[in-house]
């Protein structure tokens, strides 16, 4: 899909990856509707988008609130018509061992990471389907393919989003509507708050692996998922290999996560493939 002249909705646009994706789309020539709760940050971003010569709507919304999403999506459609691109990047994480995390914390992750994306898709997909074109891009995580300690609620919510994305990709195959799921490893954003990420529990391989810049991930998402419509993007290469090995055998995944030899071997293979 060409981006110039298209309209996009980006959730989680007030910071991190969502913000970078919104800017990347605007640079490519799209008008964007910015969704998150912190209106001041959305307004700052809107000025940057408008400085690029694109139209921008600021739509402060809690994505976990289905009624608010319904009215927000209606307001966007009334203002700019049916969007061509929906990027669900809003997400939250609580890093705690399963027995220490509360029901409310588990529910909050499910409500934003899974239901938040679900509500936007429910609202916008019927008109996209009728038009016979569009892109829906859900930002899951590496942990939406590989379960890790101290991420039970986060992993569960992202696995749910992964399943929804894959099912919708197949349901709309050949219709002109492409549904993609993105599985990033560590990105340098507020999400990796050193005060809240636990010092123990997460495999060192995950905790200390290099963090990608949000701008680089945004460029990748826009190129592969928006322009080309690929259904799954896992990055960096190392996480893609890790999730593939884990899908073949959980035991091999254990070895990779907890023993250094296997990740190093894989790194060598990955470098050889590059």
- Taking residues 8 to 37 in sequence order and writing x for each that binds ligand NAP by CB under 6 A, - otherwise, the string is ---xx-xxxxx-----------------xx
CB of 191 to ligand NAP, least distance (A): 3
**Region label for 7, one of left (φ > 0), alpha (ψ between -120 and 50) or beta (otherwise):** beta
Among 29, 43, 48, 62, binds ligand NAP (CB under 6 A): 62
- In the complex with ligand NAP, which residue's Cβ is closer, 42 or 256? 42
Taking a C-beta distance cutoff of 8 angstroms, is the pair 19, 13 a contact?
yes
Locate all alpha helices (DSSP H) within 172-260, ordered by sequence: 204-207, 214-221, 237-248, 250-258
Among 186, 234, 243, 246, binds ligand NAP (CB under 6 A): 186
Among 189, 234, 243, 246, binds ligand NAP (CB under 6 A): 189
CB of 65 to ligand NAP, least distance (A): 8
Rounded-to-integer distance, Cα 147 and Cα 225, Å: 24
Taking a C-beta distance cutoff of 8 angstroms, is the pair 136, 168 a contact?
yes
- Taking residues 101 to 140 in sequence order and writing x for each that binds ligand NAP by CB under 6 A, - otherwise, the string is -----------x--------------------------x-
Taking a C-beta distance cutoff of 8 angstroms, is the pair 129, 172 a contact?
yes
92 touching ligand NAP, by CB under 6 A: yes
Strand partners, 135: 85, 178
CB of 208 to ligand NAP, least distance (A): 13
CB of 63 to ligand NAP, least distance (A): 4
First to last CA, the chain: 27
Rounded-to-integer distance, Cα 139 and Cα 27, Å: 20
Where do contacts with ligand NAP occur on this chain (CB under 6 A)?
A: 11-12, 14-18, 36-38, 62-64, 89-92, 112, 139, 141, 184, 186-187, 189-192
């Amino acid at each position: 899909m060409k981006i110039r002249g298209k309209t996009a909705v980006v959730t989680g646009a007030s910071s991190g990856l969502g913000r970078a994706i919104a800017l990347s789309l605007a640079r490519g020539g799209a008008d964007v509707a910015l969704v998150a709760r912190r209106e001041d940050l959305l307004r700052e971003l809107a000025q940057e988008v408008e400085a690029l010569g694109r139209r921008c709507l600021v739509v402060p919304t809690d994505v976990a609130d289905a009624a608010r999403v319904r009215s927000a999506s209606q307001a966007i459609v009334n203002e700019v018509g049916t969007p061509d691109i929906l990027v669900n990047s809003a997400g939250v994480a609580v890093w705690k061992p399963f027995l220490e995390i509360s029901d409310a914390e588990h529910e909050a992750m499910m409500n934003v990471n899974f239901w938040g994306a679900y509500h936007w898709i429910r609202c916008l997909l019927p008109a996209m389907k009728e038009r016979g074109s569009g892109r829906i891009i859900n930002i899951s995580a590496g942990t939406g393919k590989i379960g890790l300690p101290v991420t039970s609620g986060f992993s569960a919510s992202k696995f749910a989003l992964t399943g929804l994305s894959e099912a919708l990709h197949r349901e709309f195959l050949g219709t002109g509507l492409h549904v993609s799921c993105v599985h990033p490893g560590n990105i340098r954003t507020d999400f990796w708050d050193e005060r809240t990420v636990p010092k123990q529990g997460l495999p060192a391989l995950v905790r200390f692996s290099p963090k990608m810049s949000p701008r680089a991930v945004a460029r990748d998402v826009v190129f592969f998922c928006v322009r080309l419509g690929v259904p799954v993007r896992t990055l960096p290469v190392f996480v893609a290999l890790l999730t593939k090995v884990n899908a073949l055998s959980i035991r091999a995944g254990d070895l990779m996560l907890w023993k250094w030899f296997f990740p190093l071997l894989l790194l060598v293979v990955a470098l050889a493939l590059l």
